[in-house]
Protein backbone atom coordinates (compact mmCIF):
# COMPACT_ATOMS: atom_id res chain seq x y z
CA UNK A 1 0.00 0.00 0.00
CA UNK A 2 1.12 3.50 -0.76
CA UNK A 3 0.45 6.02 2.00
CA UNK A 4 1.12 9.74 2.30
CA UNK A 5 0.89 11.75 5.50
CA UNK A 6 0.53 15.52 5.37
CA UNK A 7 2.26 17.21 8.25
CA UNK A 8 2.54 20.84 9.07
CA UNK A 9 5.18 22.61 11.03
CA UNK A 10 3.70 24.87 13.68
CA UNK A 11 5.14 27.14 16.36
CA UNK A 12 5.63 25.14 19.50
CA UNK A 13 2.98 25.85 22.10
CA UNK A 14 4.79 24.16 24.94
CA UNK A 15 5.35 26.42 27.86
CA UNK A 16 3.91 29.42 26.14
CA UNK A 17 3.42 32.38 28.34
CA UNK A 18 1.08 35.28 27.90
CA UNK A 19 2.39 38.80 27.86
CA UNK A 20 0.33 40.41 30.60
CA UNK A 21 0.17 43.77 28.90
CA UNK A 22 -0.61 42.84 25.35
CA UNK A 23 -2.29 39.49 25.82
CA UNK A 24 -0.01 37.87 23.23
CA UNK A 25 1.82 34.60 23.41
CA UNK A 26 5.48 34.88 24.19
CA UNK A 27 7.26 32.30 22.08
CA UNK A 28 10.82 31.33 22.46
CA UNK A 29 12.52 32.08 19.18
CA UNK A 30 11.96 29.81 16.24
CA UNK A 31 10.73 26.96 18.31
CA UNK A 32 8.66 24.84 16.03
CA UNK A 33 7.55 21.27 15.88
CA UNK A 34 5.23 18.93 14.05
CA UNK A 35 1.60 20.00 14.52
CA UNK A 36 0.71 17.92 17.60
CA UNK A 37 -2.51 16.69 15.97
CA UNK A 38 -0.53 15.38 12.98
CA UNK A 39 1.24 12.87 15.23
CA UNK A 40 -1.98 10.89 15.34
CA UNK A 41 -2.08 10.81 11.55
CA UNK A 42 1.53 9.61 11.43
CA UNK A 43 0.90 6.98 14.09
CA UNK A 44 -2.14 5.60 12.28
CA UNK A 45 -0.18 5.31 9.03
CA UNK A 46 2.65 3.51 10.81
CA UNK A 47 0.19 1.09 12.41
CA UNK A 48 -1.22 0.22 8.99
CA UNK A 49 2.29 -0.36 7.70
CA UNK A 50 2.98 -2.71 10.59
CA UNK A 51 -0.03 -4.87 9.75
CA UNK A 52 0.34 -4.99 5.99
CA UNK A 53 3.29 -5.92 3.89
CA UNK A 54 4.76 -3.80 1.13
CA UNK A 55 3.64 -0.51 2.54
CA UNK A 56 5.52 2.71 2.05
CA UNK A 57 4.78 5.91 3.93
CA UNK A 58 5.85 9.27 2.56
CA UNK A 59 5.64 12.34 4.79
CA UNK A 60 4.87 15.52 2.92
CA UNK A 61 5.01 19.06 4.15
CA UNK A 62 4.86 22.46 2.57
CA UNK A 63 6.72 25.11 4.48
CA UNK A 64 10.06 26.78 5.15
CA UNK A 65 13.27 24.74 5.18
CA UNK A 66 13.01 24.43 8.95
CA UNK A 67 9.98 22.17 8.39
CA UNK A 68 12.53 19.41 7.73
CA UNK A 69 12.55 19.02 11.46
CA UNK A 70 8.84 18.13 11.58
CA UNK A 71 9.32 15.68 8.70
CA UNK A 72 12.18 14.01 10.53
CA UNK A 73 10.04 13.73 13.63
CA UNK A 74 7.56 11.76 11.51
CA UNK A 75 10.29 9.56 10.07
CA UNK A 76 11.55 8.84 13.56
CA UNK A 77 8.10 7.46 14.35
CA UNK A 78 8.40 4.97 11.48
CA UNK A 79 7.63 6.70 8.18
CA UNK A 80 9.89 5.84 5.25
CA UNK A 81 10.72 9.02 3.50
CA UNK A 82 10.07 12.74 3.48
CA UNK A 83 9.30 15.43 0.94
CA UNK A 84 9.40 19.14 1.61
CA UNK A 85 7.74 21.56 -0.78
CA UNK A 86 9.57 24.77 -0.15
CA UNK A 87 9.88 27.99 -2.08
CA UNK A 88 9.75 31.65 -1.17
CA UNK A 89 6.87 31.88 -3.59
CA UNK A 90 4.81 29.54 -1.41
CA UNK A 91 4.96 31.90 1.56
CA UNK A 92 1.76 33.44 2.81
CA UNK A 93 -0.46 30.70 1.37
CA UNK A 94 -3.94 30.33 2.83
CA UNK A 95 -5.68 26.98 3.03
CA UNK A 96 -6.75 26.94 -0.62
CA UNK A 97 -3.30 27.86 -1.95
CA UNK A 98 -1.71 25.33 0.40
CA UNK A 99 -4.11 22.61 -0.67
CA UNK A 100 -3.57 23.47 -4.31
CA UNK A 101 0.21 23.30 -4.02
CA UNK A 102 0.10 20.01 -2.12
CA UNK A 103 -2.27 18.62 -4.74
CA UNK A 104 0.10 19.48 -7.57
CA UNK A 105 2.66 17.28 -5.91
CA UNK A 106 0.26 14.50 -4.92
CA UNK A 107 -1.61 14.03 -8.18
CA UNK A 108 -0.56 11.07 -10.23
CA UNK A 109 1.30 9.52 -7.30
CA UNK A 110 -0.88 6.38 -7.12
CA UNK A 111 -1.56 6.74 -3.44
CA UNK A 112 -4.07 4.55 -1.64
CA UNK A 113 -4.38 6.55 1.55
CA UNK A 114 -3.57 10.13 2.44
CA UNK A 115 -3.63 11.09 6.09
CA UNK A 116 -3.94 14.58 7.56
CA UNK A 117 -4.46 15.95 11.05
CA UNK A 118 -7.85 17.18 12.20
CA UNK A 119 -6.51 20.73 12.21
CA UNK A 120 -3.30 22.59 12.76
CA UNK A 121 -2.85 24.19 16.16
CA UNK A 122 -1.80 27.50 14.61
CA UNK A 123 -4.35 28.20 11.89
CA UNK A 124 -6.95 25.90 13.45
CA UNK A 125 -8.99 25.60 10.29
CA UNK A 126 -8.99 21.91 9.44
CA UNK A 127 -9.64 22.92 5.84
CA UNK A 128 -6.52 21.71 4.06
CA UNK A 129 -7.42 18.00 4.23
CA UNK A 130 -10.91 18.21 2.69
CA UNK A 131 -9.65 20.73 0.14
CA UNK A 132 -6.83 18.44 -1.00
CA UNK A 133 -9.29 15.57 -1.34
CA UNK A 134 -11.66 17.67 -3.42
CA UNK A 135 -8.91 18.94 -5.71
CA UNK A 136 -7.69 15.36 -6.18
CA UNK A 137 -11.30 14.29 -6.75
CA UNK A 138 -11.14 11.55 -4.14
CA UNK A 139 -13.44 10.98 -1.14
CA UNK A 140 -12.64 12.48 2.24
CA UNK A 141 -13.35 11.02 5.67
CA UNK A 142 -13.06 13.63 8.41
CA UNK A 143 -12.98 13.29 12.21
CA UNK A 144 -12.04 9.61 12.00
CA UNK A 145 -11.51 8.02 15.42
CA UNK A 146 -11.19 4.40 14.29
CA UNK A 147 -10.28 2.56 11.14
CA UNK A 148 -12.42 -0.54 11.06
CA UNK A 149 -11.38 -2.26 7.86
CA UNK A 150 -9.35 -1.64 4.75
CA UNK A 151 -9.77 -3.90 1.75
CA UNK A 152 -8.32 -3.73 -1.72
CA UNK A 153 -11.06 -1.37 -2.87
CA UNK A 154 -12.59 0.30 0.11
CA UNK A 155 -12.27 1.46 3.67
CA UNK A 156 -14.67 1.45 6.61
CA UNK A 157 -14.15 3.91 9.42
CA UNK A 158 -15.80 5.34 12.47
CA UNK A 159 -16.21 9.13 12.61
CA UNK A 160 -16.65 11.16 15.78
CA UNK A 161 -19.57 13.45 15.02
CA UNK A 162 -21.93 15.45 17.20
CA UNK A 163 -23.44 13.25 19.87
CA UNK A 164 -21.89 9.96 18.82
CA UNK A 165 -20.07 7.86 16.27
CA UNK A 166 -20.94 7.20 12.66
CA UNK A 167 -19.70 4.21 10.72
CA UNK A 168 -19.26 4.81 7.03
CA UNK A 169 -17.54 3.19 4.07
CA UNK A 170 -16.04 4.67 0.96
CA UNK A 171 -13.77 3.75 -1.91
CA UNK A 172 -10.01 3.99 -2.16
CA UNK A 173 -8.03 6.15 -2.71
CA UNK A 174 -9.20 8.35 0.14
CA UNK A 175 -8.04 11.21 2.32
CA UNK A 176 -8.55 10.71 6.03
CA UNK A 177 -8.35 13.32 8.77
CA UNK A 178 -7.98 11.81 12.20
CA UNK A 179 -8.87 12.99 15.69
CA UNK A 180 -6.81 12.60 18.79
CA UNK A 181 -8.68 9.67 20.26
CA UNK A 182 -7.77 7.38 17.34
CA UNK A 183 -4.53 6.21 18.93
CA UNK A 184 -1.66 6.94 21.28
CA UNK A 185 1.36 8.12 19.27
CA UNK A 186 4.53 6.22 20.05
CA UNK A 187 7.81 7.62 21.17
CA UNK A 188 10.46 7.11 18.50
CA UNK A 189 12.83 4.22 19.14
CA UNK A 190 16.57 4.67 18.88
CA UNK A 191 16.90 2.92 15.55
CA UNK A 192 14.29 5.10 13.89
CA UNK A 193 15.73 8.20 15.48
CA UNK A 194 19.10 7.46 13.90
CA UNK A 195 17.46 6.64 10.60
CA UNK A 196 15.58 9.97 10.68
CA UNK A 197 18.74 11.82 11.46
CA UNK A 198 20.51 10.31 8.49
CA UNK A 199 17.58 10.43 6.10
CA UNK A 200 17.68 12.86 3.22
CA UNK A 201 14.54 14.87 2.77
CA UNK A 202 13.53 15.39 -0.83
CA UNK A 203 13.47 19.17 -1.31
CA UNK A 204 11.12 20.34 -4.02
CA UNK A 205 10.92 23.96 -5.12
CA UNK A 206 8.60 25.57 -7.61
CA UNK A 207 11.26 25.15 -10.28
CA UNK A 208 10.49 21.46 -10.01
CA UNK A 209 6.78 21.62 -9.29
CA UNK A 210 5.95 24.49 -11.66
CA UNK A 211 2.65 25.48 -10.09
CA UNK A 212 1.01 28.50 -11.76
CA UNK A 213 2.19 31.58 -9.90
CA UNK A 214 -1.29 32.99 -9.51
CA UNK A 215 -2.27 29.88 -7.55
CA UNK A 216 0.48 29.82 -4.94
CA UNK A 217 1.58 31.80 -1.91
CA UNK A 218 -0.05 35.04 -0.89
CA UNK A 219 -0.83 35.91 -4.50
CA UNK A 220 -2.77 32.69 -4.98
CA UNK A 221 -4.67 33.06 -1.71
CA UNK A 222 -8.26 34.26 -1.90
CA UNK A 223 -8.32 35.19 1.78
CA UNK A 224 -6.33 38.00 3.39
CA UNK A 225 -5.77 38.79 7.02
CA UNK A 226 -6.51 42.50 7.05
CA UNK A 227 -6.08 43.15 10.73
CA UNK A 228 -5.04 41.42 13.91
CA UNK A 229 -6.13 42.76 17.26
CA UNK A 230 -6.00 41.67 20.85
CA UNK A 231 -9.25 40.67 22.44
CA UNK A 232 -9.83 41.81 25.96
CA UNK A 233 -9.04 38.53 27.63
CA UNK A 234 -9.23 39.89 31.10
CA UNK A 235 -12.73 40.33 32.38
CA UNK A 236 -13.61 42.74 35.11
CA UNK A 237 -14.57 39.83 37.26
CA UNK A 238 -15.18 39.66 40.95
CA UNK A 239 -12.94 37.31 42.94
CA UNK A 240 -14.19 36.10 46.28
CA UNK A 241 -12.43 33.96 48.82
CA UNK A 242 -15.21 31.92 50.33
CA UNK A 243 -15.18 30.61 53.86
CA UNK A 244 -17.74 27.87 53.38
CA UNK A 245 -19.10 25.85 50.50
CA UNK A 246 -22.52 27.34 51.27
CA UNK A 247 -21.18 30.79 50.60
CA UNK A 248 -19.77 29.66 47.23
CA UNK A 249 -23.07 28.13 46.20
CA UNK A 250 -24.96 31.27 47.20
CA UNK A 251 -22.60 33.47 45.18
CA UNK A 252 -22.98 31.27 42.12
CA UNK A 253 -26.76 31.18 42.37
CA UNK A 254 -26.89 34.96 42.79
CA UNK A 255 -24.67 35.44 39.76
CA UNK A 256 -26.78 33.16 37.57
CA UNK A 257 -29.97 34.86 38.74
CA UNK A 258 -28.63 38.38 38.32
CA UNK A 259 -27.32 37.79 34.80
CA UNK A 260 -30.36 35.77 33.86
CA UNK A 261 -28.05 33.30 32.18
CA UNK A 262 -30.26 30.30 32.39
CA UNK A 263 -33.91 30.90 31.90
Partner 1 sequence: MKQEHTGVWTISEIEDGTINPVSYELLAWGKGLAETLKVELTSIVLTNKIKDIESLIHYGADKVYYVENEKLEHFYPDTYTKILHQLVEEMKPEIILASATTKGRTLMPCLAARLRTGLTADCTDFEIEEETRSLIQIRPAIGGNVMAKIKTMTRPQMATVRPKSKQPLPKDETRRGEIIKKEFNEEMYQSRYEWINYKKDESIDQPIQQADVIIAGGKGLRRQENFKYLKEIAERLNGAVGATRAVVDMGWIDYSHQIGLSGKTVSPKLYIAVGISGAVQHIAGMSTSKYIISINKDPEAPIFKVSDLGIVGDATEIVPLLAKEIKQGDKK
Ligand X SMILES: Nc1ncnc2c1ncn2[C@@H]1O[C@H](COP(=O)(O)O)[C@@H](O)[C@H]1O
Ligand Y SMILES: Cc1cc2nc3c(=O)[nH]c(=O)nc-3n(C[C@H](O)[C@H](O)[C@H](O)COP(=O)(O)OP(=O)(O)OC[C@H]3O[C@@H](n4cnc5c(N)ncnc54)[C@H](O)[C@@H]3O)c2cc1C
Binding site for ligand Y (CB under 6 A): 13-14, 36, 121
Residue 208 Cβ vs partner 1, minimum distance, rounded to whole Å = 23
Between CA 121 and CA 175 the distance in angstroms is 20
Pattern 35-54, partner 1, x by CB under 8 A: -xx-----------------
108 binds, among partner 1, ligand X, ligand Y, none (CB under 5 to 8 A by kind): none
34 binds, among partner 1, ligand Y, ligand X, none (CB under 5 to 8 A by kind): none
Nearest 10 degrees: CA dihedral of 217, 221, 227, 228? -60
Residue 247 Cβ vs ligand Y, minimum distance, rounded to whole Å = 15
Q: Smaller CB distance to partner 1: residue 190 or 228? A: 228
Pairing of strands 2-6, 113-117: parallel
Question: Does position 204 bind partner 1 by CB under 8 A?
Answer: no
Q: Smaller CB distance to partner 1: residue 36 or 92? A: 36
> Which of 53, 108, 214, 231 is in the footprint of partner 1 by CB under 8 A?
231
Report which secondary-structure segment, H or E, holds 13: none
Residue 115 Cβ vs ligand X, minimum distance, rounded to whole Å = 7
Q: Smaller CB distance to ligand X: residue 82 or 117? A: 117
Residue 193 DSSP code: H
CB 30 within 8 A of CB 164: no
Q: Smaller CB distance to ligand Y: residue 14 or 208? A: 14
CB 158 within 8 A of CB 144: yes
- Range 147-150 contact pairs with CB under 8 angstroms and sequence separation of 24 or more: 147/44, 147/48, 147/176, 147/182, 150/1, 150/48, 150/52, 150/113
Between CA 178 and CA 145 the distance in angstroms is 6
Q: Give the contacts of 107 (CB within 8 A, at least 6 positions apart).
A: 136
User: Which of positions 101-140 make contact with partner 1 (CB under 8 A)?
Assistant: 121-131, 133-135, 139-140
| Sole window of 14-22, 66-74, 76-84, 204-212 interacting with partner 1 (rule: CB under 8 A) | 14-22
| Sole window of 66-74, 77-85, 105-113, 155-163 interacting with partner 1 (rule: CB under 8 A) | 155-163
Residue 14 Cβ vs ligand X, minimum distance, rounded to whole Å = 18
Question: Does position 28 bind partner 1 by CB under 8 A?
Answer: no
7 binds, among ligand Y, partner 1, ligand X, none (CB under 5 to 8 A by kind): ligand X
211 binds, among partner 1, ligand Y, ligand X, none (CB under 5 to 8 A by kind): none
State CA 112 to chain mean position distance: 20
Cα radius of gyration rounded to whole Å, the chain: 22
Between CA 249 and CA 263 the distance in angstroms is 18
Amino acid sequence: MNIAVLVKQVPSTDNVKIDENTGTMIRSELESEMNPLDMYAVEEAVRIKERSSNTKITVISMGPLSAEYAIKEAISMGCDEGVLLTDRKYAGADTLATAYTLTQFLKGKELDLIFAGERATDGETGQVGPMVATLLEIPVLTYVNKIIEITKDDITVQRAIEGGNEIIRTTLPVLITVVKEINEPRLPNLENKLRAKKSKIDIITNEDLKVEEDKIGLKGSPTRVVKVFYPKISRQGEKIAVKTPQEAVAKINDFIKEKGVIS
